[in-house]
Structure 1
Amino acid sequence: MSNLPAPFSMKHPVGTDTWIKPFLRLGRFSAKLARFFVRTDVDLHVLPEPTIIAANHRSLLDFVVGFGAAGEYPRATRILINERYFRSGILARILNRIGAIPTPEKGARDALAGGISELKRGASVIIMPEGKLVKEQHRVAGLGELRKGVSVLAYESGVPVTPVAVIGTERAWPIGGLPRRRLPRRRVVMCRACSPVYLTSTDHDMNLRVLREAMTDCLKSAERQYEERYGREY
């Protein structure tokens, strides 16, 4: 019999995990904050449990929208965030309070042990595999270079990776700029989850090629839906 703790679930949360309630409160607050700036169109119904949620990163608004979507999603989720965000006193306290897991600039296995452990417990985790904001001129097919950490997480845990496309945040909050609240109609931000992939190779470069193709396809599909539903101007 396994001696692992019970899997995470919003119906049966792990009692000793004190981060769950603060995480959900921040999620609900973030959802309201996001709706002040943008209209959100979120569909994460295909997410398996557990999974590694791999999203693209084009704007600081991604964090607000992401927390909001995670807070409304019916299961507890850990968020992996670059360790540099834990260096600020106030921000570090918030991140620790909600159970965020710091990740290094370089994804060595030992440094990712916290994320791997949570996945094996049955928790899902959110990660932005590009590791940083990526300007448009540095994207290829809409995506920046992926870092090895996501492959290490997937291979070591055996958990599938679910690509999530985030479309429109860079229009509402461009890199290097301030948030833009367009009136009378707010801009639309779309989040779409696509089919999960397993990264089973010991060759992390090969795994990243597999994931890159899946994330690129997810972005293209979401962009088509976005344009069909809202047009280019949003």
Structure 2
Amino acid sequence: MLYRLLKYVLLGPLLRLLWPTKVTGTENIPDTGGAILASNHLAVADSFFMPVRVRRRVTFPAKSEYFTEPGFKGKLKKWFFTGAGQIPIDRSGGSAAQAALDTAIRLLREGNLLGIYPEGTRSPDARLYKGKTGVARIALEAGVPVIPVAMIGTEKVNPIGSKMWIPRRLEIRFGKPLNFSRYEGLSGDRFVERSITDEIMYALMELSGQEYVDIYAARAKELLAADAAGVRPAVPPQPSAAEADRVPETRAG
């Protein structure tokens, strides 16, 4: 009820009025059954604009901190994110990462649409970054298709570091479903999962027209911060397996 109130009465009409959006490819979203909507991630606004344009409910995994802040402000946040179709997931450690994967798989097996950002965090410069393999593991375990989604222009609506949303025209492109049933039974094989993830990122690159960068977005942010501070690390550290496999978050820090 709360989700429908926000989507059709409160938030949805406002987003449609102030941010007219060209939407293509919605016929690629199945009418029933589980599927992953794997999107590029340019702004916090992505998690609001995309679900409004999908007839079915889209569920995003979100940091548990969004639901546990104390006080009146915390209650408002919990109400809003719950109503927006987001579910809390503890992502603080290795076991939490597995719990996040398990939750995503369960939702898909129940026939839901799951929104995921394979990059794991927002792009710092509107380029497309290396995907984390959690999206591949989820797709294999749940046995569902992956639909690439390209958000176009949202980084100009909600620039990083800004709390203001600037009215402008946007575009959302839903690509053709990617079927990975040929890899059935190979979940956990890191080479297969990397191959699947790279195929998803290639589809996103073609759909969005973004330049692709073969490092993780989180690492790119670290390098940019180091450059700003005048100290650039000589050898980039390798990401841990937990970092590579965890479920990409719905909003970035």
Normalised TM-score (structure 1): 0.70
Looking at structure 2, the residues matched to 111 and 61 of structure 1 have their Cα atoms a distance apart, in angstroms, of 22
Query: SS state of the match for residue 108, structure 1?
Result: helix
Looking at structure 2, the residues matched to 166 and 189 of structure 1 have their Cα atoms a distance apart, in angstroms, of 8
Task: From 105, 117, 122, give the equivalent of 2:111.
Answer: 122
Query: SS state of the match for residue 191, structure 1?
Result: strand
Q: What is the correspondence of 1:85-96 to structure 2 with a 5 Å cutoff?
A: 85-88=66-69, 89=74, 90-96=76-82
Looking at structure 2, the residues matched to 223 and 148 of structure 1 have their Cα atoms a distance apart, in angstroms, of 22
- Matched residue pairs, number? 192
Which one-letter code corresponds to 2:206 in the other structure?
K
Task: From 92, 99, 118, give the equivalent of 1:110.
Answer: 99
Q: 1:148 to 1:92 in 2, by over 3 A?
A: farther
Task: From 30, 45, 59, give the equivalent of 1:78.
Answer: 59
Report percent identity of matched pairs: 28
Looking at structure 2, the residues matched to 98 and 65 of structure 1 have their Cα atoms a distance apart, in angstroms, of 11
Q: Unaligned stretches of 5+ in structure 2?
A: 211-253
Q: 1:97 to 1:27 in 2, by over 3 A?
A: closer
Please identify runs of 4+ aligned residues in structure 1 that moved more than 6 A: none
Q: Unaligned stretches of 5+ in structure 1?
A: 1-20, 182-186, 225-234
Normalised TM-score (structure 2): 0.65
Query: Could you tell me whether the CA contact under 8 Å between 1:54 and 1:164 is conserved in 2?
Result: yes
Aligned to 1:220: 206
Looking at structure 1, the residues matched to 12 and 191 of structure 2 have their Cα atoms a distance apart, in angstroms, of 36
Which one-letter code corresponds to 1:191 in the other structure?
I
Deviation readout 1:119-178 (Å, 9 max, x if unpaired): 111112111222221211xx7xx3223223322321211111111111111122211123
Looking at structure 2, the residues matched to 24 and 95 of structure 1 have their Cα atoms a distance apart, in angstroms, of 13
Deviation readout 1:1-60 (Å, 9 max, x if unpaired): xxxxxxxxxxxxxxxxxxxx2222222233322234322112321113421111111112
Query: SS state of the match for residue 110, structure 1?
Result: helix
1:170 to 2:150 alignment = no
Offset at residue 116 of structure 1 (A): 1.2
Deviation readout 1:188-211 (Å, 9 max, x if unpaired): 211111122234343245434433
Aligned CA RMSD, in angstroms, stands at 2.6
